[in-house]
């Protein structure tokens, strides 16, 4: 009988948690970007391999929250550490004082934790990896310390074997064709948000929420007609998202449509709308309504 269990991926923003999730599962489950606060809620990604089922939980990067959205994000990351079999703490630099925040949470949970040093493809010398390892030594009784590259999928066999030690024999939690707990709507909305993250700068990417308003099969054209709403916090941001002559919105729409078509093997007809909801990130009710609360 195979093994199965839950593995939470935690770490600072931008260390590559979502990239690692996608690479391990072998499908784009979570959106990724060079910007912090890309991941806003916990996302499950499931890998079925050799009779074993790995249920990975990707989390928002842990940081000191400043607004309602941030508080929900931090809560999601912390709660995802309860009742799991193993934790992957992803880092890409030597230990710093700012890592103590996460270290304390890990100590508090006391779960088997694998320190995953990511982005080794970017490190120039092997001694750079050693420097990171040494800086984390003695901080926690890590189960293992494993350098990887989520980008190149290096040392994944080693990583999966290390995780397997903490999973249990027994029936699997999810059917084999189930790769994520996210709805199709949520995944589409996230893909649209990802394109906005890449297309905009400064405060704009963080001020955006995306919701799928309607999704209808068009039998005549054999397409899926999707209407999505992009919500921003200020009029000026709406102007930026729409762009001169609507060019920015068009670009976002084209990129999102292409990727949605590819991932879901669909022909989507995507229409984007933009709306201002003043300071929505500071309003707990709105944060919940946009799908980030509990």
Distance separating alpha carbons of residues 136 and 111, to the nearest angstrom: 17
Distance separating alpha carbons of residues 215 and 2, to the nearest angstrom: 38
Buried b (16+ CB within 10 A) or exposed e, 13-47: ebbbbbbbbbbbbeebbbbbbebebbbbbbbbbbb
Strand partners, 5: 54
- Is position 60 annotated in a ligand binding site? yes
We find the least distance from the C-beta atom of residue 62 to K ion, in angstroms, to be: 13
We find the least distance from the C-beta atom of residue 9 to ligand GDP, in angstroms, to be: 8
Q: Vertex 46, ends 53 and 289: CA angle to 5°?
A: 140
Site for Mg ion in 35-94 (CB under 5 A): 38-39
The shares of helix, strand and coil residues in the chain, as percent rounded to the nearest 5, are: 40, 25, 35
Tell me the chain's radius of gyration from C-alpha atoms.
20
Of 236, 242, 235, 237, residue with least CA distance to 272: 242
**Residues lying near ligand GDP in the complex (CB under 6 A):** 11, 13-19, 32-34, 38-39, 61, 118-119, 121-122, 149-151
- Is position 12 annotated in a ligand binding site? yes
Site for Mg ion in 20-39 (CB under 5 A): 38-39
Query: Based on CB atoms, which residue is closest to K ion, 80 or 224?
Result: 80
**19 touches which of ligand GDP, K ion, Mg ion, none (CB within 5 to 8 A by kind)?**
ligand GDP
Query: Based on CB atoms, which residue is closest to K ion, 3 or 187?
Result: 187
- Is position 99 annotated in a ligand binding site? no
Token pair listed for 65: 């929250």
**193 touches which of K ion, ligand GDP, Mg ion, none (CB within 5 to 8 A by kind)?**
none
Told to check if 38 binds K ion by CB under 5 A, we report yes
We find the least distance from the C-beta atom of residue 19 to ligand GDP, in angstroms, to be: 3
We find the least distance from the C-beta atom of residue 168 to Mg ion, in angstroms, to be: 27
Which residues does the annotation place in the binding site? 11-18, 58-62, 118-121
Binding residues for Mg ion (CB under 5 A): 17-18, 38-39
């Amino acid at each position: 009988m195979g093994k199965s269990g839950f593995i939470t991926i935690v770490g600072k923003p931008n260390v590559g948690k979502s990239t690692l999730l996608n690479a391990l599962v072998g499908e784009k489950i979570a959106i990724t970007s060079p910007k912090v606060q890309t991941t806003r809620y916990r996302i499950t990604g499931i890998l079925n391999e050799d009779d074993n089922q790995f249920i990975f939980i990707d989390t928002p990067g842990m940081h000191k929250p400043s607004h309602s959205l941030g508080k929900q994000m931090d809560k999601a990351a912390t709660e995802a550490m309860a009742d799991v079999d193993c934790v992957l703490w992803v880092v890409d630099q030597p230990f710093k004082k700012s890592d103590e925040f996460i270290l304390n949470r890990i100590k508090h949970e006391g779960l088997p934790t694998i320190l995953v040093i990511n982005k080794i493809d970017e490190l120039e010398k092997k001694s750079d990896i050693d420097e990171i390892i040494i800086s984390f030594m003695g901080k926690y009784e890590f189960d293992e310390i494993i350098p990887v590259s989520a980008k190149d999928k290096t040392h994944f066999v080693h990583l999966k074997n290390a995780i397997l030690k903490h999973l249990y024999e027994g029936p699997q939690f999810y059917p084999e064709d189930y790769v994520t707990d996210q709805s199709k709507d949520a995944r589409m909305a996230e893909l649209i948000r990802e394109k906005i993250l890449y297309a905009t700068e400064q405060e704009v990417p963080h001020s955006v929420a995306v919701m799928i308003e309607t999704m209808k099969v068009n039998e005549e054209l054999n397409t899926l007609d999707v209407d999505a709403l992009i919500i921003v916090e200020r009029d000026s941001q709406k102007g930026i998202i729409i762009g001169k002559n609507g060019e920015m919105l068009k670009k976002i729409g084209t990129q999102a449509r292409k990727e949605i078509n590819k991932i879901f093997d669909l022909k989507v007809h995507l229409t984007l709308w933009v709306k201002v909801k003043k300071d929505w990130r500071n309003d707990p009710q709105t944060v919940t309504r946009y799908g980030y609360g509990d």
